[in-house]
Amino acid sequence: MAKELTTRQENYSQWYNDLVTKADLAENSAVRGCMVIKPYGYAIWEFMHDALDRMFKQTGHVNAYFPLFIPKSFLSKEASHVEGFAKECAVVTHSRLMSNPNGNGVIVDPESKLEEELIVRPTSETIIWDTYRNWIKSYRDLPILVNQWANVVRWEMRTRLFLRTAEFLWQEGHTAHATKEEALTEARKMLEVYAEFAEKHMALPVIKGIKSANERFAGAVETFCIEAMMQDGKALQAGTSHFLGQNFAKAFDVKFLNKENKLDYVWATSWGVSTRLMGALIMAHSDDNGLVLPPKVAPIEVVIVPIYKTDDQRQAVINYCVEMKERLEKKGLRVKFDDRDTQKPGFKFAEWEMKGVPVRLAAGPRDVENKTVELARRDTMEKMEISENGMEEKITALLEEIQENIYQKALKYRKDNTVRVDTWDDFKKNIENGKFVYAHWDGTTETELKIKEETKATLRCIPLDDDLEDGIDVYSGKPSKRRVIFAKAY
RNA sequence: CGGGAUGUAGCGCAGCCCGGUAGCGCGCUUCGUUCGGGACGAAGAGGCCGCAAGUUCGAAUCUUGUCAUCCCGACCA
């Protein structure tokens, strides 16, 4: 048995990449850099999707949908925007296929060449602002608070499952406002929504911050972000919210009459999170036994595994389990009763652990007799025997505890791997060791790029919640007003 | 797009150097024994060796091209 176990661990525990992507969440498709999200993985995405959607609606947003195809000319209207995306666009040039006259198969019909090429959206600012022009005439039409759930395509040179796929699912909010202040408030508000979602639902501690000019979104005036630390110490940008100023309004000629009866350009924001969040979830919480899901995004919160030998036992145990399942469901919990006759209990234990189910219950004849049930929690792998009486309350409370524990564990990990440094030697050493480094920065792109060149560390963000502090730049020695975060990133 | 590696059964791999028509482990099927932590035995099923050309009597193996994947750069959510 030990040998079998070893073999399987070798197969399954090659960290999240093999384990989760190949075993459960996705598998590579024939399309370059794309992913198949398997049902269990998609269920996790649906939970994140639904929770976010509720939060958007609570903050006054509504959903809409805009075309997948963007005429090439749209993309070129905002100069820095097109510059940012030009190198990673999929382009539609033809509209038809035809039988190959020279043999079998089909070829692109040269007659069907499009007059203007279409770009498969890498993001939708352009087509949405082209549409907003017709929606906005007066300050009375504002604000527009629209969100879109969609897929986008970015033909990246190098792809990475979940973190940077050629096609990914996301939501993109695009809002239009009458004043700069209102737009800025909106961008900040959505950053708060993302931070709350990451921390409360995904149990993922994040740092809210502002991007440096160098890392800013193409076309934005200011980019806000949430940054998270993965278990290898690398930083992952988990969500962004942009204050777009009047850049897109000017590019697409979106003007309105304000209260003073003066014509003005509209102020804009955009904000988005993607299936990259699933990558964050996996990389932040998984262990060698597989995925660890915070209960709030777990498609299954409790799995019940029956244990029996004989047919007589089977019936009694199943009845016992079904009753528990119904009682838990009555409390609003998502429960799976694994009554498969084809797998043994030990196999099921391992499988559900790999899938990250927060709580497992196992019941056999002994439990039926004693009115007990064995409970195992995924986050700590602890097992305990609890009484069947009042188990609903116990489990409900435990799920909250697990949610909190996973968050605290990630938070502690980040704290343990975050340092403040004041010398260049310390800086290099700590970046090399995969730490988040708080250091003084002189505020110039030049220094930022030099640091990146020498250490591969990027300026993750200028933290919003930190106090100002006088100091000198760790690289250039020039004066600095505050510390910023440097780290290696995905 | 540059540098490196890889592509053989559902998954993980061996075979390639030195050409002779494919093998191992897991998984899968059937039967029996098992069943409170990834069971065991026996018998089976499954592969135009990524794709396309070339060399050869003969190619998984040699040559060229091509596509894809992974790692390192540049780029990015």
Q: Please, which positions of strand B sit below 7 A from a protein CB?
A: 1-2, 11-12, 25-27, 34-40, 67-77
* CA pair distance A362, A386, nearest whole angstrom: 11
Q: What predicted TM-score, i.e. pTM, was given to this entire model? A: 0.93
For residue A218, say whether its CB is under 7 Å from any atom of strand B. Answer: yes
**Structure-model confidence comparison of residues A237 and A13, the more confident one:** A237
Residue type, A23: A
ipTM attached to this prediction = 0.87
Domain limit, last residue, from A260, A285, A310:
A285
Closest by CA position to A42, among listed A353, A278, A295: A278
Is A81 inside any structural domain?
no
* CA pair distance A115, A109, nearest whole angstrom: 14
Tokens of A153: 């395509």
For residue A320, say whether its CB is under 7 Å from any atom of strand B. Answer: no
For residue A1, say whether its CB is under 7 Å from any atom of strand B. Answer: yes
Domain limit, last residue, from A252, A285, A318:
A285
Which residue is nearest nucleotide B50, judged by alpha carbon to C1' distance?
A30
A479 lies in the same domain as A367: no
Does residue A164 register a pLDDT over 90? Answer: no
| A78, A125 contact by CB (below 8 A) | yes
Does residue A27 register a pLDDT over 90? Answer: no
A307 lies in the same domain as A438: no
| A106, A134 contact by CB (below 8 A) | no
Query: Residue A1: which nucleotide is closest by CA–C1'?
Result: B39
For residue A157, say whether its CB is under 7 Å from any atom of strand B. Answer: yes
Does residue A143 have a cis peptide bond before it, meaning omega lies within 30 degrees of 0? yes
444-483 of chain A touching strand B, CB 7 A cut-off: 452-453, 456
Is A107 inside any structural domain?
no
Count the Cβ atoms, other than its own, within 10 Å of residue A64: 13
Residue range A360-370, pLDDT digits in tens: 999 999 999 99
For residue A345, say whether its CB is under 7 Å from any atom of strand B. Answer: yes
Does residue A4 register a pLDDT over 80? Answer: no
Residue range A28-60, pLDDT digits in tens: 555 677 777 888 888 999 999 999 999 999 999
For residue A309, say whether its CB is under 7 Å from any atom of strand B. Answer: yes
* CA pair distance A400, A391, nearest whole angstrom: 14
A281 lies in the same domain as A305: no
Q: How confident is the model at residue A22 (pLDDT cuts 50, 70, 90)?
A: low
Element (H, E) at A222: strand A222-229
Residues of chain A above pLDDT 90, percent: 71
* CATH code of residue A152: 3.30.930.10
Residue range A77-130, pLDDT digits in tens: 998 888 888 888 888 888 888 877 766 667 788 888 899 999 999 999 999 999
* CA pair distance A362, A294, nearest whole angstrom: 20
A19 lies in the same domain as A141: yes
Domain limit, last residue, from A363, A396, A429:
A396
The total of structural domains in chain A comes to 3
A325 lies in the same domain as A194: no
A141 lies in the same domain as A274: yes
Q: Which domain holds residue A354?
A: 300-396
For residue A306, say whether its CB is under 7 Å from any atom of strand B. Answer: no
